[in-house]
Amino acid sequence: MYKLTHLKELESESIYVLREVAAQFERPAILFSGGKDSIVVTYLAYKAFYPAKIPFPLLHIDTGHNFQETLDYRDALVEKLGAQLIVGSVQESIDTGRVKEEKGYNASRNRLQTTTLLDTIEKYKFDACIGGARRDEEKARAKERFFSHRDEFGQWNPKNQRPELWNIFNGRKNMGEHFRVFPISNWTEMDVWQYIYQENIPLPSLYFTHERKCFLRDGQWLAAEPCMTLKPIEVVETRRVRCRTIGDITCTGLTISEANNLEDIISEIAATRVTERGGRADDKRSETAMEDRKKEGYF
Amino acid sequence: MNTNGYLDMELLRFTTAGSVDDGKSTLIGRLLYDSKSIFEDQLEAVEAASRSRGNEEVNLALLTDGLRAEREQGITIDVAYRYFATPKRKFIIADTPGHVQYTRNMVTGASTADLAIILIDARNGVVEQTVRHSYIASLLGIPFITVCVNKMDLVDFSEDVFNEICLNYKKMAETIGIRAELRFIPISAKHGDNVVTDSTNMPWYDGGTLMNLLETVSIDHKMGDSAQPMRMPVQYVIRPISDKFPDYRAYAGRMAGGVLRAGDRIRVLPSGLESTVKSIMQDDKELEIAHTPESVSVLLNDDIDISRGDMLVPATAQQPVITQQLKMRCCWFNETEMQLRKRYIIRTAVAETVGMVQSVDYKVDVNTLEKVEGVSSLKMNDIAVINVKTSQPLVVDDYASNRITGSLIFIDPDSFETIGAGMVVVES
């Protein structure tokens, strides 16, 4: 008797969306951050077009504040897939005066990425950027479409989105406009981990427990890397931690954890009572921080 | 740790219809909360946001109303998708409230739903809105409708009240020709009666809780069985053009009906050319059989011309219709009115052409369900039966027999917005 599991159905939907991107757009790219969601999207793209190569380059917006493990993983994956890698550098945007670096202890390049991203999209004339955002992550993302239209300023207009019915995706656009496409919109954090487990997808070591120099700020452990400025009262300690999400160092919270394999991580997530973005400093800036950044053109 | 459980779960998509006053947000909040799908930081954020708005009770609507304008105005603008899971199933809720764009939102949410929950306030019974919601659920072909008679605590958990509402609903359902399988559950979303746990207040009811129904209702309709005619719209042609795969040519698509086996004789529409299936691939694995709704790629034994927009169907079983003249039920979404003889882009799952509306048979008043004839344009939220002529032939099925191959959208040729949806009627 045939059994349609939730992971099979989600996988099938995502592959369908990725193939629609390849069919409807001229210059798509995968927004690759090195986090588990963009890793899963890239893996699904591999499946969608096998035995042909993924027909889009991977685009990484590098804040210059990335964990070395993320960059190593990215380079190894690109080589394995035979994919093209394009890097947009936030440092370069700062150096050329496109953006101004934030000051203070909570300074982050998270928001600056938007300018670098939009500049890179324009430079390479990308007409669809595929991202790993999920609707369960954040309340503004809960209203996001699979095919999300962006105007010529790269902005999102959440009040007037195109209705999306059945599995018909409308990627028509005018010159200068582009789309963000989110193939794993319907996946939850748990689905992503279960899928990684089922498919045995390799992940950056940051997701598993390791010893790291870190410090506590506002109840959240952060990595004590050179790009972080510590307040006088903050003390660097060595702890056994892992990342639940991976972003820029300045906004990636670390979880005290002994989980060193996927089964343990899944158990840990099943028991947790805090969302994964609960550890993200970038979302805590205001009640609608994500929506505000998304409107400007953020991921 | 035993991981078999969660790798074995199923997926159910459902939509919820009802106004704020019917307790819809409370019901969704209850399902999420009792299944432990609301996290502490989310609850804290909602509590804080409720307090800062001067709400006395925690306003669970703030969980789904994520946009700034929604939170400021206390309204819901857009379809919100919510997720929760129990050990048996993962659930996707398309929460479709809205004021001005109500019909558009509900049609959108209903298009992919396996089940619709229709909420009725036990004090008010079947009202105009109930009829409208049920009509749309039925129009979109949702296989199951579950009527939750809510606020039973406010009618003393009366069996008579419940029975009368059920009776009235069934009468209405018969009048408008609802084909979905109906279920009725007396609940109190606020207190949790019959939502996740059995109610001790209604010993006369033994039909099980809403959660029990959501966990056990059949999802077989999603999977094509051998009896349903096979459909595979071709999305994309995979051609590696590499040394390892020099002449490889596979047709990629998502199964939209029935099953496909290696060796099956197939026909390509609209060309009508035939071949046999050499192999079916799912990424790097070869499949004996492909089921709906899997994404696969198909290799054929003959070198024939196939491209995006074509459809693979069985050579012998029931065929779709190939036509430039379509009758359909249509819902209009845009402030710009539908005009007769104006050119619109018409898109099915994988094919696109240009078409114009030649005539409107009648418009349906969604509140009274009366047919209004003599109409020559459609406004936002209007539902009508229309006749469309297309420049290229489309390969379609009757929507009632296949929701994927029987559906299409209208795209504005200037703004490229999605401005309407169509459900094909094939008259036999």
Q: Are residues B212 and B72 in the same domain?
A: yes
Closest approach of B187 to chain A, Cα-based (Å): 27
Contact A51 B238 (CB under 8 A): yes
What kind and span of H or E run contains A13? helix A6-24
Report whether B173 contacts B208 (CB < 8 A).
Answer: no
Residue B1 lies in a domain: no
Residue B258 lies in a domain: yes
Interface test with A, best of B64, B68, B111, B407 (most A CBs within 10 A): B68
CA distance B327 to B144: 25
Whether the per-residue pLDDT at B2 is higher than 50: the answer is: no
Interface check B67 vs A, CB under 8 A:
yes
Whether the per-residue pLDDT at B1 is higher than 50: the answer is: no
Q: Are residues B237 and B354 in the same domain?
A: no
Q: What share of chain B is helix, strand, coil (3-state, %, to 5)?
A: 20, 35, 45
Domain residue ranges of chain A, discontinuous segments joined by +: 6-192+287-296, 205-283
What's the pLDDT score for residue B77?
63
Task: Find chain A residues with C-beta within 8 A of B97's C-beta.
Answer: none
pLDDT tens for B12-59 read 999 998 766 777 878 888 888 777 777 666 777 777 777 777 766 666
CA distance B105 to B23: 18
Closest CB from A16, A22, A263 relative to B3: A263
pLDDT tens for A145-164 read 999 998 888 788 877 788 99
Q: Give the list of residues 6+ apart from residue B34 with CB closer than 8 angstroms, or none.
A: B192, B195, B196, B197, B211
Contact B236 A23 (CB under 8 A): yes
Instruction: Give me the residues of chain A with pLDDT under 70, please.
Output: 273-299
CA distance A46 to B372: 52
Closest CB from B64, B254, B345 relative to A12: B254
CATH number of A6-192+287-296: 3.40.50.620
Contact A4 B293 (CB under 8 A): yes
CA distance B112 to B13: 7
Q: What share of chain A is helix, strand, coil (3-state, %, to 5)?
A: 40, 15, 45
Residue B44 lies in a domain: yes
Put the strands of the sheet holding B80-85 in their side by side order: B80-85, B89-95, B10-17, B115-121, B144-150, B181-186
Q: Look at chain B and report how many structural domains it folds into.
A: 3
User: Nearest residue on chain A to B45, judged by CA atoms?
Assistant: A287
What's the pLDDT score for residue B4?
52
CA distance B86 to B213: 12
Lowest mean pLDDT among A1-15, B75-89, B135-149, B318-332: B75-89
Domain boundary among B158, B190, B222: B222
What's the pLDDT score for residue A295?
66
Residue B294 lies in a domain: yes
pLDDT tens for A80-100 read 999 999 998 888 888 888 888
Residue B227 lies in a domain: no
Q: Are residues B55 and B140 in the same domain?
A: yes
Closest CB from A23, A158, A166 relative to B404: A166
Q: Are residues B41 and B125 in the same domain?
A: yes
Task: Go through B302-337 and write b for each residue having 16 or more CB atoms within 10 A of its CB, e for each that does not.
Answer: eeeebebbbbbbbeeeeebbebeebbbbbbbbbeee
Q: What are the structure tokens assigned to B327, written together?
A: 């009758």
Q: Are residues B23 and B156 in the same domain?
A: yes
Q: How confident is the model at residue B150 (pLDDT cuts 50, 70, 90)?
A: very high
CA distance A120 to A255: 33
Q: Are residues B33 and B92 in the same domain?
A: yes
Interface test with B, best of A143, A164, A165 (most B CBs within 10 A): A165
What's the pLDDT score for residue B261?
96
Q: Give burial (CB, 10 Å; 0-12/13-18/19+) of B200.
A: exposed
Q: Are residues B21 and B74 in the same domain?
A: yes
Report whether B227 contacts A40 (CB < 8 A).
Answer: no
Residue B302 lies in a domain: yes
A:148-207 residues touching chain B, CB 8 A cutoff? 158-159, 161-168, 170, 172-174, 185-186, 188, 190-191, 194, 197-198
Report whether B248 contacts B238 (CB < 8 A).
Answer: yes
Q: Give burial (CB, 10 Å; 0-12/13-18/19+) of A23.
A: middle
What's the pLDDT score for residue A105?
73
Q: Are residues B157 and B36 in the same domain?
A: yes
Contact A170 B240 (CB under 8 A): no
Q: Are residues B265 and B130 in the same domain?
A: no
Q: Are residues B300 and B209 in the same domain?
A: no
What's the pLDDT score for residue B154?
95
Q: Is the ipTM of this complex over 0.85?
A: yes
Whether the per-residue pLDDT at B190 is higher than 50: the answer is: yes
Contact B333 A163 (CB under 8 A): yes
B376: CATH: 2.40.30.10
Domain carrying residue B21: 6-222
Contact B107 A165 (CB under 8 A): yes
B189: CATH: 3.40.50.300
Q: Are residues B245 and B277 in the same domain?
A: yes
Q: Are residues B249 and B133 in the same domain?
A: no
Domain boundary among B222, B251, B269: B222
User: Nearest residue on chain A to B421, judged by CA atoms?
Assistant: A165
Whole-angstrom CA distances from B394 to A82, B43, B270, B311 are: 38, 49, 8, 10
B:91-130 residues touching chain A, CB 8 A cutoff? 92, 104-105, 107-108, 111-112
pTM above 0.90, yes or no: yes
Domain boundary among B203, B222, B241: B222
- For range B231-249, the mean pLDDT: 93
Longest dimension (CA), chain B: 76
Cross-strand bridge partners of residue B352: B347
Amino acid identity, residue B125?
A: G
